[in-house]
Amino acid sequence: EVQLVESGGGLVQPGRSLRLSCAASGFTFDDYAMHWVRQAPGKGLEWVSGISWNSGSIGYADSVKGRFTISRDNAKNSLYLQMNSLRAEDTALYYCAKSKRGIYSSSPFDYWGQGTLVTVSS
């Protein structure tokens, strides 16, 4: 059974940093691309970032480019999102999502975690 468990969320002041983690199990982690997708309270879904199976290709939404960094450790079956210079508009539930394919582009998200909440507020 595929499981994705996010952690690392919390309350943080504007301008500070936070690192999210996603622990994956139930599938061969290094065969698939992975993504972060967020959902602000009461709002829709927004793709944040994606990384290919071997970290060779990485992409970011324009809204987070230059502030967020995605990475993965295939030996630990883990996905990460380093979030710097956080803003109030980054407040959201952050989901870790598995890609259906090894490439991170043009591939649907076939499994999702339950999310970790990030609140940016002074």
Partner 1 sequence: QSALTQPASVSGSPGQSITISCTGTSSDVGGYNYVSWYQQHPGKAPKLMIYDVSNRPSGVSNRFSGSKSGNTASLTISGLQAEDEADYYCSSYTSSSTIYVFGTGTKVTVL
CA 32 – CA 99 distance, rounded (Å): 6
Contact 107, 31 (CB under 8 A): no
Tell which one of 113, 116, 118, 120 touches partner 1 (CB under 8 A): 113
* Count of residues that interact with partner 1, criterion CB under 8 A: 27
Classify the C-alpha dihedral 75-66-60-23 as positive or negative. positive
Given the complex with partner 1, which of 29 and 60 has the nearer CB atom?
A: 60
Question: How many other CB atoms are found less than 10 A from the CB of residue 91?
Answer: 17
Bridge partners, 46 (sequence order): 38
Question: In the complex, what is the shortest distance from the CB of residue 37 to partner 1, in angstroms, rounded to a whole number?
Answer: 8
Given the complex with partner 1, which of 27 and 111 has the nearer CB atom?
A: 111
String of contacts with partner 1 for each residue 35-54, x by CB under 8 A: x-x------xxxx--x----
CA 117 – CA 98 distance, rounded (Å): 19
Positions in the binding site for partner 1 (CB under 8 A): 35, 37, 44-47, 50, 59-63, 65, 95, 100, 104-115
